[in-house]
Amino acid sequence: MSEPLVIIERRNDGVAVLTLNRPSARTAVNVDMATAIVDAVEAAQDARCIVITGADPAFCAGLDLRNLGTDKLVDLPRFIDAVAHSEVPTIAAVNGAAVGAGMSLALASDIIIAGESAYFLPSFARLGLVPDAGITFHLARRIGGGRSLSSLMLAEKIDAKTALNWGLAYAVVPDAEVVARAQAVARRLATGPCAVLGQIRSLHASTFDNSLQEQLRAERSAQEMTLETHDCVEGVRAFFEKREPNFSEH
Amino acid sequence: MSEPLVIIERRNDGVAVLTLNRPSARTAVNVDMATAIVDAVEAAQDARCIVITGADPAFCAGLDLRNLGTDKLVDLPRFIDAVAHSEVPTIAAVNGAAVGAGMSLALASDIIIAGESAYFLPSFARLGLVPDAGITFHLARRIGGGRSLSSLMLAEKIDAKTALNWGLAYAVVPDAEVVARAQAVARRLATGPCAVLGQIRSLHASTFDNSLQEQLRAERSAQEMTLETHDCVEGVRAFFEKREPNFSEH
Amino acid sequence: MSEPLVIIERRNDGVAVLTLNRPSARTAVNVDMATAIVDAVEAAQDARCIVITGADPAFCAGLDLRNLGTDKLVDLPRFIDAVAHSEVPTIAAVNGAAVGAGMSLALASDIIIAGESAYFLPSFARLGLVPDAGITFHLARRIGGGRSLSSLMLAEKIDAKTALNWGLAYAVVPDAEVVARAQAVARRLATGPCAVLGQIRSLHASTFDNSLQEQLRAERSAQEMTLETHDCVEGVRAFFEKREPNFSEH
């Protein structure tokens, strides 16, 4: 029996680590890999935080181009939706190249942690392809419209340091520490208030579509649902007792 | 008689300085303080620029959590609207910690000037609360979607230097000079063309909601209202006469 | 016969260089100049990339204020539309001051390359004017809402280094090399896949208006149109043959 395309490691701190495991193809995404990623993200919805990384040497080389022109096209919207709309927060541990739709995958995650020698390459135009898998949505929101447009038009590599400087990556660490650092951040989220983290991600996803009035209303309605929860009562109590809160809801 | 919750100082350069004055509670916002801020901003609408600061040591520690769960909840939309939709430009002189809704308050201002040891802490998630008071609207627009999302999810402190680097703060100055620097910038706005500054703020508030066509139309319609004004005639004349303009409209 | 207001140089690498040629007025835009720019951009639609620069010393000093108050007002929406909706990618080679609507013109371009001593000055408020020509749309998307708002309200000069740091400029080079560098980048775009570059620009123009679902759909529909093209077939083939692609569509 062959190795699974995505290895799921469930840690006892509530973090699930998904390793895209097709190193011979630099984790290129074909139909089977896309399905495996969607399935793995869905299977990990019982975790409190998901880390996505690639089996070295690459994070994800993007769409497997041998698929192009055949009937079996990867359903990119479904692929990206699984990550972007995961109920559980996601962290991309970018251990190497994040190319094309592999870069889109990292951007669909909530937080990106990159190794020093990792890079992001929106290669689409170089191949005569339209940037997809949500990259035209997520990249502009992360790094601004100017840098996003020139990076996509020129299909230019963004190294880890630049990614940090531009706000694309949350942190850059030595290559050997990428997954460990991602797990450490994931652990912090895993001990956080689940419902609130979900509300933050949801409020965030639509923030550029709303007027201030609409966003204030959305915040208030989210807050009203939260005030009654055990996590909120516990969070405020811990604050007054000057101790760390013990969030427990799922 | 007790000290007022907000001290209003009207300066003869047209600048009104509002000092949130509850230092024993680090200017935490309860219902009375929220009302006092709204009232003060409304009372200062006859000024040409408003500076908002806190009585040391904090700028504003956010919502007073002793209010939670009681019937008397702070009306955060009204609180933020008063600042965001003030007819008069507002500058936040962040003299110390800007925490939770206190950070939201700073972000609702047009320009943020921070002391070197000041910081911004979107503490909500740490307390099991949804970020509110417009922070999910304003923060993403100022610093981009990636940094905004990770800051809110991890409830991470943003120091003054980082705030400057990320475009959250307009300037960082020695702690002792925060209010003076804010007043200096306020004075420049106070000598500016009021109607135009209002149009800039209004065009800005909706810029991410509009297509280029819509925004071009909104700019033109604002410009048409402006071309007839004394300030515009004076501004152009001063330009040709190579002197500073003397804007006088209110 | 007088010098043309816009000099069009068609290079044999597919790049058209438009030089705004009214150096005595620092390329101020009056009705004739605006018409000449629109006409030149339209005439250059048979090129594969357009570079816009100014005859030294300025890139463009903005609207010619001697026009104000007369019947002959520049049609700014049409002026900016010609650049923003050009079918051909545009690069602004900012060789000197880009002031007022001249800054708006640079921002309407896809990529901005600036000389070391060039600067961007959104001078509008200083003159009692509303910022226009799309600057309230493009500036916030490039540099974020905070920096955009303060720059416009205070009419503050942004030097080349700051423009690079803020993501306003793509590159800053020695003054003498601005046009050469812009041509080099233009050449890269000119050898790129035209239809895809057009799709990127179009997807980008509406990215802040769309939800992730809508943008994913727009990407897919653009991709479907692209997959059948010669450029796409050639791009993917070149990738597998490890050679540079030879894009040829127009």
DSSP A116: T
Residue A95 has pLDDT above 60, yes or no: yes
Residue A40 has pLDDT above 90, yes or no: yes
Confidence of residue A70 (pLDDT cuts 50, 70, 90): low
**CA-to-CA dists, residue C152 to B13, B140, B189, angstroms:** 22, 19, 11
- The Cα–Cα gap between B241 and A99 comes to 56
Q: Are B19 and B51 in contact (CB under 8 A)?
A: no
pLDDT tens per residue across all 250 residues of chain C: 578 999 999 999 999 999 999 998 898 999 999 999 999 999 999 999 999 999 999 999 999 988 676 656 788 989 999 999 999 999 999 999 999 999 999 999 999 999 999 999 999 999 999 999 999 999 999 999 999 999 999 999 999 999 999 999 999 999 999 999 999 999 999 999 999 999 999 999 999 999 999 999 999 999 999 988 999 999 999 999 999 999 987 7
- The Cα–Cα gap between A198 and A248 comes to 14
The pLDDT assigned to C73 comes to 77
* Nearest alpha-carbon partner for B191 in B14, B8, B11, B9: B14
In 10 A of CB B176, how many CB atoms? Answer: 10
Q: How many CA atoms lie within 13 A of B43 on its CB side?
A: 14
Query: How would you classify residue A100: left for phi > 0, otherwise alpha for psi between -120 and 50, otherwise beta?
Result: left
SS3 B228: coil
Q: How far apart are the first and last CA of chain B?
A: 35
Q: Is B204 on the interface with C (CB under 8 A)?
A: yes
Q: Is A128 on the interface with C (CB under 8 A)?
A: yes
The pLDDT assigned to B66 comes to 84
Residue A67 has pLDDT above 80, yes or no: no
Q: Is C120 on the interface with A (CB under 8 A)?
A: no
Residues of C in contact with A149 (CB under 8 A): 110-111, 200-201, 204
Residues of A in contact with B72 (CB under 8 A): none
- The Cα–Cα gap between A198 and A229 comes to 14
The pLDDT assigned to C43 comes to 97
* Chain C residue closest in CA terms to B188: C154
* Nearest alpha-carbon partner for B52 in B4, B98, B12, B16: B16
User: Are the Cβ atoms of B200 and C152 closer than 8 angstroms?
Assistant: yes
- A167-202 tens-digit pLDDT: 999 999 999 999 999 999 999 999 999 999 999 999
SS3 B101: helix
Bond prior to C57 in cis (omega within 30° of 0): yes
Write out the two tokens for B162.
Answer: 């980082």
Q: Are A195 and A249 in contact (CB under 8 A)?
A: yes
Q: Are A141 and B144 in contact (CB under 8 A)?
A: yes
Nearest chain A CA: its distance from C38 CA (Å): 23
The pLDDT assigned to B72 comes to 66
- A13-38 tens-digit pLDDT: 999 999 999 998 888 999 999 999 99
Alpha helices, H only, chain B: 31-43, 76-84, 101-108, 135-143, 145-154, 160-165, 178-190, 194-205, 212-227, 230-240
- The Cα–Cα gap between C24 and C56 comes to 9
User: Are the Cβ atoms of A239 and B143 closer than 8 angstroms?
Assistant: no
Instruction: Please give the angle made by the CA atoms of A128, A129 and A133, to the nearest 5 degrees.
Output: 165
Q: Which of C66, C127, C130 is the best residue to mutate to test the B interface, defined by the most B CB atoms within 10 Å of its own CB?
A: C130
User: Are the Cβ atoms of B166 and A167 closer than 8 angstroms?
Assistant: yes
The pLDDT assigned to C22 comes to 92
- The Cα–Cα gap between C200 and A140 comes to 12
Residues 6+ apart with CB under 8 A from B12: none
Length of chain B: 250
The pLDDT assigned to C18 comes to 98
Write out the two tokens for A126.
Answer: 């170089």
Residue A71 has pLDDT above 60, yes or no: no
| Pairing, β C6-10 against β B119-121 | unpaired
CA dihedral A215, A220, A225, A227 (to 10 degrees): 140
What residues pair up with A90 in beta bridges, in sequence order? A50
Q: What mean pLDDT do residues A130-157 have?
A: 97
Which residue of C207, C229, C239 is in closest CB contact with A136? Answer: C207
Alpha helices, H only, A109-177: 135-143, 145-154, 160-165
SS3 A90: strand
Residues of chain B with pLDDT under 70: 1, 67, 69-72
- Burial string for C198-224 (b: 16+ CB within 10 Å, else e) reads bbbbbbbbebbebebeebbebbbebbe
The pLDDT assigned to A246 comes to 95
Nearest chain C CA: its distance from A208 CA (Å): 6
Residues of B in contact with A231 (CB under 8 A): 128
Q: Which chains touch C (3 or more CB pairs under 8 A)?
A: A, B
DSSP B4-48: PSEEEEE-TTSEEEEEE--GGGTT-B-HHHHHHHHHHHHHGGGSS
Q: Are C25 and C60 in contact (CB under 8 A)?
A: no
Residue A244 has pLDDT above 70, yes or no: yes
SS3 B66: helix
- Sheet with B97-99: strands ordered across: B97-99, B119-121, B158-159
Q: How many CA atoms lie within 13 A of A160 on its CB side?
A: 19
- Burial string for A157-168 (b: 16+ CB within 10 Å, else e) reads ebbbebbbbbbb
Q: How many CA atoms lie within 13 A of C45 on its CB side?
A: 12
User: Is the pTM of the predicted complex or chain greater than 0.90?
Assistant: yes
Nearest chain A CA: its distance from B206 CA (Å): 7
Burial of B1 (0-12, 13-18, 19+ CB in 10 A): exposed
- The Cα–Cα gap between B200 and B194 comes to 10
User: Are the Cβ atoms of B89 and C150 closer than 8 angstroms?
Assistant: no
Confidence of residue A137 (pLDDT cuts 50, 70, 90): very high
**Residue with structure tokens 């559980």?**
A88
Q: How far apart are the first and last CA of chain C?
A: 35
SS3 B249: coil
The chain-wide mean pLDDT, for chain A, equals: 94
**CA-to-CA dists, residue A139 to A132, B119, B145, angstroms:** 11, 27, 9
Look at A67 and B140; give whichever has higher pLDDT: B140
User: Are the Cβ atoms of B207 and C147 closer than 8 angstroms?
Assistant: no
